[in-house]
């Protein structure tokens, strides 16, 4: 391994006390490959195992905590105890050779396609459709549903602990339910769950409490709790970077292990504030990084680009597409073979890359997701 890459391979200890062997996490990526009933499939297990061992931690695709929060076909469930045996196999597949397994827990809210839901009706903070062509109008959640969903995140955390995961990541990003409560576009409530910025924070903070309480009650060893956040929204009204900077101050008070900032490019500044050219990840790190570790992500492809990002002081980097195309990304750097890291996806490589059929079809057929070559 070249000396300039040593930063990537430094170990890191989360506030909870969990150690990871290097600074690379695999970002959560939807793979559409679970069984119809929400159980983990054999193809998924092989896919996860192939990419584990080298990286410090692997964040799974999002699993739904309630059946009314399912967001994708082929998504796995964390909604009842029957899922625990499959989740246990998933944790064990990831943990081979020392990679930590982090289960991403989620509710789709108004982003859940009605046809995937038992009641054929999505729910959200308010009855406001997303600004997308053909978006369904959700039903506003009742007080009972809000409290049941908060409890469901805690129960999902208990199942993750019982299945042997090393942690959970609360999915508060990408326009899903937790973000919908924080957003002035999707949350028009005037009760205790909406209105002011502080009240729009209440639901995601209650979910964090539920998760932390489950950890305190059920975890017998240190357990990671992370939170994923999108710093801005394009909708009008929408979440501004200033809103998020106030929110992360609150999140930094919650004794979390990390904040994972979901953006397309690590170095991009605000798209809402034209004068805001500084990287949003770096801005959040400067705001709260001394109190909660920040995970950076976004269009960092090469080891040199990752080192440059780590040199900003952001302690951890999540890679997605890079590990999808090159499961041995870490190992090739260690072996001084970084020139052999795949940077394109060949249509002939499905078996070698151990990619499940449903995910493979999307990778090959959806233009712009990955650089696909014949």
Q: Which residue numbers are catalytic?
A: 176
**Exposed (0-12), middle (13-18) or buried (19+): which is 191, by Cβ within 10 Å?**
exposed
8 Å CB contact between 323 and 47: no
- Report the first-to-last Cα separation within the chain, whole angstroms: 31
Q: What length does the chain have? A: 374
| Helix axes 143-162 and 202-218, enclosed angle (nearest 10) | 30
Please report, for residues 93, 205, 249, the alpha-carbon distance to residue 198 in angstroms, rounded to integers and kept in the order given.
40, 10, 12
Structure tokens at 213: 């309480």
8 Å CB contact between 283 and 245: yes
DSSP sequence for 258-323: EEEE--S-TT---SSSTT--S-HHHHHHHHHTTTS-EEEESS--SHHHHHHHHTTT--EEEESHHH
Helix (H) or strand (E) holding 89: helix 84-94
| Helix axes 84-94 and 42-50, enclosed angle (nearest 10) | 20
Q: Give the sign of the dihedral formed by CA 253, CA 235, CA 281, CA 266.
A: positive
Structure tokens at 123: 């729910």
| Closest residue by Cα to residue 290 from 7, 11, 15 | 15
What 296-302 contacts at long range (C-beta under 8 Å, 24+ apart), as own/partner pairs, is: 296/261, 296/266, 297/27, 297/260, 297/261, 297/262, 297/263, 297/266, 298/263, 298/264, 298/265, 298/266, 298/267, 298/268, 299/264, 299/265, 299/266, 300/266, 301/343, 302/338, 302/341
Q: What is the Cα–Cα distance from 221 to 165, expressed in whole angstroms?
A: 11
Three-point CA angle 38, 169, 98, nearest 5°: 90
């Amino acid at each position: 391994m070249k000396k300039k890459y040593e930063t990537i391979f430094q170990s890191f200890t989360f506030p909870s006390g969990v150690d990871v062997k290097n600074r690379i996490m695999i970002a959560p990526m939807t793979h559409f490959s679970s069984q119809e009933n929400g159980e983990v499939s054999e193809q998924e297990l092989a896919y996860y195992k192939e990419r584990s061992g080298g990286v410090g931690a692997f964040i799974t695709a999002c699993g739904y905590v309630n059946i009314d929060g399912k967001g994708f076909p082929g998504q796995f469930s964390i909604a009842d105890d029957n899922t625990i045996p499959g989740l246990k196999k998933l944790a064990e597949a990831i943990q081979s050779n020392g990679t930590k397994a982090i289960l991403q827990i989620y509710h789709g809210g108004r982003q859940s396609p009605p046809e995937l839901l038992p009641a054929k009706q999505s729910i959200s903070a308010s009855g406001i459709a997303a600004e997308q062509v053909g978006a369904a109008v959700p039903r506003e959640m009742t007080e009972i549903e809000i409290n049941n969903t908060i409890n469901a995140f805690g129960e999902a955390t208990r199942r993750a602990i019982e299945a042997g995961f090393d942690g959970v990541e609360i999915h508060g990003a990408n326009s899903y339910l937790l973000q919908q409560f924080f957003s002035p576009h999707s949350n028009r409530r005037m009760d205790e769950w909406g209105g002011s910025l502080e009240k729009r924070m209440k639901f995601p903070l209650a979910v964090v409490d539920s998760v932390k309480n489950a950890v305190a009650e059920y975890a017998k060893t240190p357990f990671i709790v992370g939170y994923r956040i999108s710093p801005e929204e394009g909708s009008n009204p929408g979440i501004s970077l200033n809103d998020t900077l106030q929110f992360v101050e609150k999140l930094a008070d919650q004794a979390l292990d990390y904040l994972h900032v979901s953006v397309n490019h690590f170095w991009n500044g605000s798209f809402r504030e034209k004068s805001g050219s500084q990287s949003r990840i770096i801005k959040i790190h400067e705001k709260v990084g001394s109190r909660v570790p920040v995970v950076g992500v976004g269009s960092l492809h090469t080891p040199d680009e990752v080192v440059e990002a780590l040199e900003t002081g952001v302690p951890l980097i999540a890679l997605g597409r890079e590990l999808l195309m090159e499961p041995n990304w870490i190992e090739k750097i260690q072996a001084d073979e970084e020139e052999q890291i795949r940077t394109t996806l060949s249509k002939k490589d499905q078996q070698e890359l151990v990619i499940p059929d449903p995910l493979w079809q999307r990778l090959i057929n959806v233009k712009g997701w990955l650089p696909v070559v014949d």
